[in-house]
Amino acid sequence: MSSPATAPTPPASLKRIVAASLIGTTIEWYDFFLYGSAAALVFNKLFFPGSDPLVGTLLSFLTYAVGFAARPLGALVFGHYGDRLGRKKLLVLSLLLMGGATFAIGLLPTHATIGTAAPVLLTVLRLVQGFALGGEWGGAVLLVSEHGDARRRGFWASWPQTGAPAGQLLATGVLSFLTAVLSDAAFGSWGWRIPFLLSGLLVIVGLWIRLSVDESPVFKEALAQAEARKASDNAAAEKLPLVAVLRHHWRDVLVAMGARMAENISYYVITAFILVYATTSAGVSRQTALNAVLIASAVHFAVIPAWGALSDRVGRRPVYLVGAVGIGLWMFPFFSLIDTGGFGNLILAVTVGLVLHGAMYAPQAAFFSEMFATRMRYSGASIGAQFASVAAGAPAPLIATALLADYGNSTPIALYVIAASLLTIVAVGVAKETRHRDLTDLDVTDEVADKPVRPEDARIV
């Protein structure tokens, strides 16, 4: 019989927890993607004037990439305290940091007003965004994974993942509306600030919902066990979560990093770089490109839970591999469709790309959660996910823009994404299936000792 700490979460409570994680991640991704869209559309002119248009875009995407550089630090800090203090407290902090930084960007003077201090301040606020997002993802998916029904963990844990397309949908929708109703001069002068300032209102809503949920029962039980071990006379000092992860789960960290390569790179090429490629190489208007991403993001939101549910039936690895193989095969048709300049073809290109991306992104939450023991799960999942983002998502729009500037066509960009797909196929191919793992049984009872973890403690399948 399950203990009270690990009793199944009532459906109503579980839905509230899913809603809290989803709304929080939607707000945080809205903030993050809003910056990426603005970097492609206006920041090159407002903060890096006087440059060649493509060079200005490169510099703008460079500040975009800086946010990714801070994500590993956020993963380390939030992972450490999330494994020590709990998931909920850190999720509240991450939301406050992200929302505050985004609101401040909306108030930021441009280069025309304060000179070079403008891009410096923009970069600092981008670092705060990245730091906050580095801690957000792990806590949000773990809060749901550790509450949810084990038989449907892939489905429930995929809902926080829909925060990414929901945030993209919200950010792109707001920008698309503003560019439609405002002239280019008005949007460049003051209209671009409105979406950033709206973040303040969204954060208030997110905090109200996020503060209403309970801490993970799996974490509370693991914390109680750790406190009991600490109180015993012969207990050794409990290792730092980071040390324990690197000691007992370093292979899983590498698998998670490899698994993220195709997922992360393809997503930012499809949603951020496309705003550059479609408008400069394919002759598509900014409004048309934004509308295509908007429609495709809605489909992306809808298919993620479906892919998550499928991973509960057939396993995390098969679904993930479908996405990794599919996205590699789609890259050449993707750019060919965009090159036609037709709105229907543009929608098809982006939508199929995001559907295939969803096959990787949906099972990722449960897959990574199931790799690590409870008292190091926040650290392990966050480190594996966010360290990969530095090599994957961070430079993806920058590399794609540079390749376009050097070669003048999409072939090297397609090959870049295909190479990432091959890395992901290898990483997921060598990973073990985690679908049947019990998160409560995955706690490493020997994590306080110097001896290696027993296989039966660390791998319950």
- b/e per residue 316-325 (b: at least 16 CB within 10 A): bbbbbbbbbb
- Taking the C-alpha atoms of residue 370 and residue 389, their distance in angstroms, rounded to an integer, is 20
How much is the pLDDT for 4?
Answer: 40
Residue 264, burial from CB neighbour count under 10 angstroms (0-12, 13-18, 19+):
buried
CA distances from 63 to 83, 354, 397 (A): 31, 25, 11
Alpha carbon distance 127, 75 (integer Å):
13
pLDDT digits (tens, 9 = 90+) for 98-134: 888 889 989 999 888 888 788 888 888 888 988 888 8
Q: How much is the average pLDDT of 209-222?
A: 74
How far is it, in rounded angstroms, from Cα 152 to Cα 386? 25
- pLDDT tens for each residue of 365-384: 999 988 888 778 888 888 88
Residue 240 phi/psi, 5-degree rounding, is: -65, 145
Secondary structure of the chain in the HEC alphabet? CCCHHHCCCCHHHHHHHHHHHHHHHHHHHHHHHHHHHHHHHHHHHHCCCCCCHHHHHHHHHHHHHHHHHHHHHHHHHHHHHHHHHCHHHHHHHHHHHHHHHHHHHHCCCCHHHHCCHHHHHHHHHHHHHHHHHHHHHHHHHHHHHCCCCHHHHHHHHHHHHCHHHHHHHHHHHHHHHHHHHCCHHHHHHHHCHHHHHHHHHHHHHHHHHHCCCCCCHHHHHHHHHHHHHHHCCCCCCCCCHHHHHHHHCHHHHHHHHHHHHHHHHHHHHHHHHHHHHHHHCCCCCHHHHHHHHHHHHHHHHHHHHHHHHHHHHHCHHHHHHHHHHHHHHHHHHHHHHHHCCCHHHHHHHHHHHHHHHHHHHHHHHHHHHCCCCHHHHHHHHHHHHHHHHHHCCCCHHHHHHHHHHHHCCCHHHHHHHHHHHHHHHHHHHHCCCCCCCCCCCCCCCCCCCCCCCCHHHHCCC
Q: Which residue in this structure is represented by tokens 């996405």?
A: 323
31-40, 47-56, 292-301, 400-409: segment of lowest average pLDDT = 47-56
Mean pLDDT of 230-245: 64
Model confidence at 427: pLDDT above 70: yes
Cα diameter, the chain: 73
Is residue 163 within 8 A of residue 104, CB to CB? The reply is: no
Tell me the average pLDDT across 341-347.
93
User: What's the mean pLDDT in 80-105?
Assistant: 84
- pLDDT beyond 70 at 214: yes
**Distance from C-alpha of 359 to C-alpha of 453, rounded to nearest angstrom:** 32
345 is written with which tokens?
């073809």
pLDDT grade, residue 233 (50/70/90)?
Answer: low
Model pLDDT, residue 238: 57
| Residue 39 burial (10 A CB sphere; 0-12, 13-18, 19+) | buried
pLDDT of residue 231: 62
Whole-number average pLDDT of the chain: 82
Lowest mean pLDDT among 127-141, 326-340, 349-363: 127-141
The top-scoring range by mean pLDDT among 281-285, 308-312, 378-382 is 308-312
Lowest mean pLDDT among 95-109, 254-268, 321-335: 95-109
Mean pLDDT of 345-358: 97
What tokens does 250 get? 């370093």
The b/e string for 367-386 (b: 16+ C-beta within 10 A; e otherwise) is bbbbbbbbbbbbbbbbbbbb
Supply the Cα-derived Rg of the chain in whole angstroms. Answer: 22
Q: What is the pLDDT of residue 459?
A: 36
Token digits for 426? 């290898």
Q: Which residue has the tokens 């503003």?
A: 178
Residue pair 371/434 in contact by the 8 Å Cβ criterion:
yes
pLDDT at residue 143, rounded to an integer: 81
pLDDT at residue number 1 = 36
Residue 445 confidence (pLDDT): 42
Check if the beta carbon of residue 300 is closer than 8 Å to that of residue 329. Answer: no
Higher pLDDT, 430 or 180: 430
454: pLDDT strictly greater than 50: no
Q: Hey, what's the torsion of the CAs at 98, 102, 105, 107, to 10 degrees?
A: -120
- pLDDT, position 5: 40
Q: How confident is the model at residue 58 (pLDDT cuts 50, 70, 90)?
A: low
Q: Report d(CA 195, CA 216) in Å as an integer.
A: 33
